[in-house]
Amino acid sequence: MNAEVEALLRDAAQRAIAYVGAVRDRPVAVSAEALQGLEAFRHPLPETGVDAREVLRLLDESGSPATVATAGGRFFGLVVGGALPATVAANWLATAWDQNACFRHTSPVAATLEDVSLQWMARMFGLPADVGGAFVTGASMANFAALAAARHALLSRLGWDVEAQGLYGAPEIRVIVSEETHVTVGKALALLGLGRQRVTVVPTDRHGRMQVSRLPALDDRTIVCIQAGNVNTGAFDPADEVCRMARQAGAWVHVDGAFGLWALASDKFDTRTQGIALADSWATDGHKWLNVPYDSGIVLVRDAAALRAAMSLNAAYLAQDGAEQREPSHYTPESSRRARGVEIWAALLHLGRQGVAGLVERTCGYARVFAQGLQAAGFEVLNEVALNQVLVSFGSPAVTAAVIERLQEEGICWCGGTVWQGRTAMRISVSSWATTEADVQASLQAMVRAAKKTVDGRTY
């Protein structure tokens, strides 16, 4: 390595270390000054290139201040994890490797780490050892890949090759969702030609759980989509009942477990997660509760052959599966892609099963602290705090919105708004390894302070 390249990489590492070291102490939201600083990027493309050290300086000095401090411990606006240090370091090394994880021969290490991670996750989640899986950009593509596998499996039973013949003239299959299904499931159905609006919608209870008694009769042409972790309440659909009904009928059950699937690592949530492992496919994110860098999602399918048939590539120059080896590109929607399995492997090895369970349990405990503190201050918590999600109302929709705005402006922590069963609420999502008891207490004080200032000051 020449001295110029080494100096550049050391500069980058030092700037990154400085950013990580300071992120806990800065306001979570981006300041108006930092937003104005982004104007430094808006200029015509230069005719001649700029020195790499200058590029890095501009990126850090004008870009770093305009980042939302999701890597700190006080961002609760979405289910966003902060990357574990071990996964950041693994990401840096994997980026230096610059591997294309498409094939085993383009990156033996990427393929091996995917193999190992799939085995570890299957064991931790209580799934079959030979479950099929792939590493994708997030739960959106994980839902897409899983539902593509379901579409293949159901139509294949009926003698229809959907990958070759498409949906024109295909036997009709039915999709059942709850009224609380996440928008990414609808997007996946749209991309697969199954239609957002051609679904059967099942009502939910006050917690957001699918009402099994309202399920229509199932058959072997049916896909049932259930949730493990409602994005507002954290509730789980009754998977045990749904999966047993589906298995008798030959229906396919898909679990959207973008964050909730990780609760299977802990036996403290067994009553909520019961039956999840009986499903046919599962989608989850690594960049949520596992706390790896963006972007990172995982799809798991009981019938590995169905996932492979839905996703595989065929061309003379493409590698084919060996006798016992999984070829990564035959299980994902993508061809060329980064080796995101490296960070998942690093997180799992670093934490172990007990560490993953502890991370889930700790953040759920913090959610309960938020709920109890806000209730003690006289504010209404709208949900049963079953997992890591808290919904709180500060009064009228206008008052609640004003409290959220004041809280975001102060910058101690960041929460967003939502509407739950007709009620406007502030949503608190606790999912970062970086969140500490001190972060929770400081944030709770900021929430109560913002609410009391808004209500007492009659800011409507």
Please report the pLDDT score of residue 320 as a whole number. 55
Query: Cα(346)–Cα(91) distance, rounded to whole angstroms?
Result: 9
Same domain as 142, residue 65: no
Taking residues 329-333, what's their average pLDDT? 95
- Within 170-247, strands assigned E span 174-178, 199-202, 222-227
Q: How confident is the model at residue 459 (pLDDT cuts 50, 70, 90)?
A: very low
Please report the pLDDT score of residue 318 as a whole number. 56
Question: Would residue 144 count as lying in a domain?
Answer: yes
Same domain as 254, residue 176: yes
Question: Among candidates 162, 279, 169, which has minimal Cα distance to 223?
Answer: 279
Same domain as 132, residue 161: yes
Same domain as 98, residue 135: yes
Question: Would residue 320 count as lying in a domain?
Answer: yes
CATH number, residue 203 = 3.40.640.10
Same domain as 108, residue 43: no
Query: Cα(69)–Cα(383) distance, rounded to whole angstroms?
Result: 27
Indicate if the pLDDT at residue 460 is higher than 50.
Answer: no
Question: Would residue 353 count as lying in a domain?
Answer: no
Question: Among candidates 96, 130, 106, 101, which has minimal Cα distance to 341?
Answer: 101
Q: What is the pLDDT of residues 291-322, one digit of tens each?
A: 999 999 999 999 999 999 999 986 544 555 55
Please report the pLDDT score of residue 455 as a whole number. 84
Same domain as 259, residue 139: yes
Taking residues 21-38, what's their average pLDDT? 95
Please report the pLDDT score of residue 201 as a whole number. 98
Taking residues 325-338, what's their average pLDDT? 94
- The backbone region for 278, taken as left when phi is positive above 0, alpha when psi lies in -120 to 50, beta otherwise, is alpha
How many residues belong to the chain? Answer: 460
Question: Would residue 404 count as lying in a domain?
Answer: no
Q: What is the pLDDT of residues 434-453, one digit of tens each?
A: 999 999 999 999 999 999 99
Question: Would residue 392 count as lying in a domain?
Answer: no
Domain boundary among 13, 36, 69: 69
Please report the pLDDT score of residue 376 as a whole number. 97
Domain boundary among 319, 347, 375: 347
* Domain containing residue 254: 90-347
Question: Would residue 316 count as lying in a domain?
Answer: yes
Same domain as 273, residue 221: yes
What average pLDDT does the structure give for the chain? 95
Taking residues 50-76, what's their average pLDDT? 97
Q: What is the pLDDT of residues 139-187, one digit of tens each?
A: 999 999 999 999 999 999 999 999 999 999 999 999 999 999 999 999 9
Domain boundary among 316, 347, 378: 347
Same domain as 125, residue 13: no
Total domains in the chain come to: 2
Please report the pLDDT score of residue 308 as a whole number. 96
Please report the pLDDT score of residue 313 as a whole number. 80
Same domain as 189, residue 53: no
Please report the pLDDT score of residue 276 as a whole number. 98
CB 303 within 8 A of CB 153: yes
Query: Cα(312)–Cα(321) distance, rounded to whole angstroms?
Result: 10
Q: How confident is the model at residue 1 (pLDDT cuts 50, 70, 90)?
A: confident
Indicate if the pLDDT at residue 268 is higher than 80.
Answer: yes
Same domain as 132, residue 10: no
Q: What's the pTM value of the predicted model, to 2 decimals?
A: 0.95
Same domain as 101, residue 61: no
Please report the pLDDT score of residue 337 as a whole number. 95
Same domain as 180, residue 113: yes
CA angle, 251 then 309 then 151, to 5°: 30
Question: Would residue 446 count as lying in a domain?
Answer: no
Please report the pLDDT score of residue 316 as a whole number. 47
Question: Would residue 75 count as lying in a domain?
Answer: no
